[in-house]
Structure 1
Amino acid sequence: MNKVVVNPENYQNTYLQYLNQCFPNWGNETAYNWVFERKVGENASDILLLKDENNEVIAGSSITYRIVQLEDKSSINIGIMTGSWTLPQARGKGCFSQIIEESKRICFSRNVPFLTAFVTESNASYRRLKEAGFYCKIADNIFSNEVAFSTNQDFSSVKIIPVNIDVLHAKYQDLSSHYSTFAYTKEEFKKQYANRLTNTQCISINQTLFLYEDTGAIIKLLFSSGFNSQDLVCFCDWMRYKEDKKVMFFLSDVSKIKIAQKANFHFVKGFLTIQKTHESIIETAEIFKNISINLGDKM
Structure 2
Amino acid sequence: MRVFVAGGTGVLGRRLVPQLVARGHQVTATTTNAAKLGLLEQLGADGVVMDGLDAASVGEAVAHARPDVIVHQMTGISMEHAGKPDFKHFDKWAVPTIRLRTEGTDHLLAAAEATGVPHFVAQGYANWNGIRTGGWVKTEEDPLDLVEGTAAYTSMLALKHVEDVVLAFGGAVMRYGGLYGPGAVDDQVELIRRRQFPLVGRATGYASWVHLDDAASATVLAVEQKARGVFNIVDDEPAPASEWLPYLAECAGAKKPYRVPKWLARWLAGQVAVVMMTEARGFSNEKAKRELGWRLSYPSWRQGFAEELG
TM-score between both structures, scaled by the size of structure 1: 0.30
TM-score, normalised by the number of residues in structure 2: 0.29
Higher helix proportion: 2
- Which of structures 1 and 2 has the bigger CA Rg? 1
Flag the structure with higher strand content: 1
